[in-house]
């Protein structure tokens, strides 16, 4: 009996040990799979590459002239989940502008002489004024979201430096074989419509161009109409202020101002990546 009892006890112990080993091996297998699953989950949830840059170009229609510009933007998302929402964009802007006096009017000369290059001219205009502007700013979303077919509204602010370029305006007149610019000595002929044959052309006066330093600031509402997250299709409406180191005179017998304040609308197209 003792032998039989001893045999049964050994058999039961062997079965219990086998079951314990099997359960331990099963847990080890589950544990070894878990890290693999954790590593695979980020890849399974990984989305498309986020937008980080944008480049666009456009044209502005100002109340005192026109501008052409190029914008380079760096997208700064709130978080990774909303990296394509363009909540904040840091802008670098290059712009070329021409300023005009609202009283400017292009007319046809009463008489065209043999030396005249054009019968069209702007009566009373004494200078052309252009500006080369470099600015930095931000554009923040304030309404909407750039989903396909939706319009988002952004608030834009840009500040920077300006380089003004003042070029004298020349006319061809009957009483002088050479084109003339405005001065006290030439004012009688320059402002006499019966003397004027027409404008002398854009190239006349380029060698006399003056460069005037200044600064500028603009604030606007930007509307993004893009139906695709990688396209830039936008419009702006805002206010622009420019200040220069000396008064800028554009019309005869009118005092010049060192500053320009205008309202504008702009249209631009480009790409994001």
Bridge pairing between strands 176-181 and 152-168: unpaired
Q: Look up tokens 């065209």; give the residue.
A: 112
The structural domains of the chain, with segments of one domain joined by +, span 1-46, 53-272
Placement of tokens 């043999």 in the chain: 114
What whole-number distance in Å separates Cα of residue 169 and Cα of residue 192?
15
Token couple for 203: 């190239």
200: closest CA among 184, 210, 186? 186
Summarize pLDDT for 116-170 with one digit per residue, the tens. Answer: 556 899 999 999 999 999 999 999 988 886 566 688 999 999 999 999 999 999 9
Q: Facing residues of 251 across strands? A: 125
Are the CB atoms for 238 and 262 separated by under 8 Å? Answer: no
Confidence of residue 7 (pLDDT cuts 50, 70, 90): low
Calculate mean pLDDT across residues 254-261: 95
- CA dihedral for 255, 257, 263, 266, sign (positive or negative): positive
Q: The pTM is what?
A: 0.78
Q: What is the pLDDT of residue 97?
A: 98
Q: Are 218 and 241 in contact (CB under 8 A)?
A: yes
Q: What CATH fold (topology level) applies to the domain 53-272? A: Porin (2.40.160)
Average pLDDT over residues 188-198: 94
Confidence of residue 10 (pLDDT cuts 50, 70, 90): very low
Least-confidence region, from 10-19, 242-251, 263-272: 10-19
Highest mean pLDDT of the ranges 2-6, 140-144, 261-265? 261-265
Q: How far is residue 213 CA from its own chain's centroid?
A: 22
């Amino acid at each position: 009996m003792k032998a039989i009892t001893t045999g049964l006890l050994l058999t039961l112990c062997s079965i219990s040990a086998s079951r314990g080993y099997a359960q331990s091996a099963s847990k080890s297998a589950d544990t070894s799979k878990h890290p693999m699953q954790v590593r695979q989950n980020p890849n399974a949830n990984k989305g498309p590459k986020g937008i980080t840059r944008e480049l666009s170009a456009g044209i502005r229609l100002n109340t005192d002239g026109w501008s052409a510009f190029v914008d380079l933007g760096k997208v700064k998302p709130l978080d990774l989940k909303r990296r394509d929402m363009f909540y904040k964009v840091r802008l670098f802007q290059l712009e070329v502008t021409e300023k005009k006096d609202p009283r400017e009017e292009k007319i046809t000369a009463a008489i065209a002489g043999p030396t005249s290059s054009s019968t069209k001219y702007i009566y009373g205009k004494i200078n052309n004024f252009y500006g080369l502007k470099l600015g930095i700013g931000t554009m923040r979303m304030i309404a909407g979201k750039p989903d396909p077919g939706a319009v988002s509204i952004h608030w834009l602010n840009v500040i920077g430096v300006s380089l003004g370029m003042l070029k004298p305006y020349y006319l061809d007149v009957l009483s002088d074989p050479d084109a003339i610019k405005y001065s006290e000595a030439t004012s009688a002929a320059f402002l006499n419509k019966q003397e004027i044959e027409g404008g002398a052309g854009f190239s006349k006066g380029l060698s006399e161009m003056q460069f005037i330093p200044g600064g500028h600031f603009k604030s606007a509402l930007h509307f993004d109409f893009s139906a695709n997250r990688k396209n830039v299709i936008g419009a702006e409406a805002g206010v622009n202020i420019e200040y220069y180191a000396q008064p800028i005179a554009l019309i005869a017998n009118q005092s010049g101002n060192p500053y320009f304040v205008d309202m504008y609308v702009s249209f631009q197209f480009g790409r994001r990546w």
